[in-house]
Amino acid sequence: MTRLLVLGATGTIGRAVVDAALEAGHVVDCVLRPHHAQGGHGLPRGARLHFGTVAQALEAGGAEAVICCMASRTGAPADAWAVDHDATAAAVAAARAAGVSHFVLLSAICVQRPKLAFQRAKLAVEARLAQSGLRCSIVRPTAYFKSLSGQLERLRAGKPFLVFGDGRVTACKPVSDGDLARYMLGCLDTPARWNRVLPIGGPGPAITPLEQGAMLARALGVAPTFRHVPLRLMDGIVAGLSLAGRMSPRMAAKAELARIGRYYATESMLLLDPATGRYDAAATPETGTATLEDFYGRLARGEARVALGAHSVF
């Protein structure tokens, strides 16, 4: 049994970490933002909630390890630097000062080829953690199930599944929230995952957007139909918004979101081979047993739900 502090516990992966940690018999503290103080956060009773600073929660709960799943909910540059970098770096410093023995950081596999503000913020905080002197595990997952489920209602409404280009431009190895949470927890007592950057995907072969569309259609019992969106269209939108963004901060934020969309339309969520500059599905490590196909089945039957929120572009 370990005393753990989970940051970002009200997010998708944070919740899964809290559930998996309680199930494994750990004592779980969480720091929540004040807007959760009135309840409605949905965390299990077993989790001990704190509403102050990370340092205060560490002192009160005596956590031996921190699992940080905090992330900007929008991915917009200022928010990403404030949360993914500044707040996370402050948590690393607080953990070090409190004598915590291990810090597990949720990062993202897309930082391998950084083109976006939030990726640079994450890379900078990864470096801060690696240099902190704390024992650490930097976990870089591939795509989450929720991020591959945004077209459920389109297909339910009889509309075609949207793919960029021929639908085979990218691929990923989707990982379930629970499998990722258990992998992150496993970092604590697996020396091979200490002081390492850990790219990680889910089980089975990598799948393309075309295969996702076919899978979702199968789960819903509808014929798969696709609309192919030219990448040039995306480029036009990015260019137009970037121009408008020079005059309006609101447009600049939209431009960054469009750049994020374009990034995921063209970059795979797989291990990047620096020698070839190509993504390598076979070399991408995997964990767990849950498959996207089963998840789509549960979504179709109403047994699972996805809350995309402001993060739906991820």
Ligand X SMILES: NC(=O)c1ccc[n+]([C@@H]2O[C@H](COP(=O)([O-])OP(=O)(O)OC[C@H]3O[C@@H](n4cnc5c(N)ncnc54)[C@H](OP(=O)(O)O)[C@@H]3O)[C@@H](O)[C@H]2O)c1
Which residues form the interface with ligand X (CB under 6 A)? 8-14, 33, 36, 69-73, 83-84, 87, 106, 108, 141, 143-144, 147, 311, 314
Q: Locate 101 and state its tokens.
A: 């023995």
- Output the smallest distance, CB 122 to ligand X, in A: 7
Of residues 93 and 244, the one with the C-beta less far from ligand X: 93
Please state the closest distance from residue 69 (CB atom) to ligand X, in A: 5
Of the pair 186, 240, the CB lying nearest ligand X is at 186
Alpha-carbon gap, residue 17 to 195, rounded angstroms: 20
10 Å CB burial of residue 205 (0-12, 13-18, 19+) is: exposed
Q: Which two tokens stand for residue 147?
A: 């991020």
**Shortest distance, position 210 Cβ to ligand X, whole Å:** 18
Alpha-carbon span 297 to 300, nearest angstrom: 5
CB of 49 to ligand X, least distance (A): 12
Residue facing ligand X at closest CB distance: 11
Which lies closer to ligand X via its Cβ, residue 64 or residue 84? 84
Q: Which residues pair with 198 in a beta bridge?
A: 139
Task: Give φ, ψ of 75 to 5 degrees.
Answer: 80, 0
Q: How far is the CB of 296 from ligand X (least distance, A)?
A: 15
Q: Among residues 296 and 314, whose Cβ is nearest to ligand X? A: 314
Residue number with CB closer to ligand X (98 or 270)? 270
CA distance 144 to 65: 24
130 vs 116: CA distance, rounded Å: 21
Q: Which of 8, 9, 16 is nearest to 180 (CA)?
A: 16
Residue type, 14: G
Q: How far apart are CA 183 and CA 200, in angstroms?
A: 9
Q: Whole-number minimum distance, CB 308 to ligand X, in Å?
A: 9
Phi/psi for 144 (5° steps) reads -85, 155
Tell me whether residue 29 or residue 223 sits nearer to ligand X (CB atom). 29
Shortest separation between residue 205's beta carbon and ligand X, angstroms: 18
Nearest CB to ligand X, comparing residues 171 and 248: 171
Q: Are 214 and 223 in contact (CB under 8 A)?
A: no
Strand partners, 158: none
Ramachandran angles phi, psi of 141, nearest 5°:
-75, 160
Collapsing DSSP to helix, strand or coil, 163 comes out as: strand
Least distance to ligand X, CB of residue 243, Å: 27
Q: Which is nearer to ligand X, 84 or 179 (CB)?
A: 84
Measured CA to CA, the distance from residue 89 to residue 136 in angstroms comes to 13
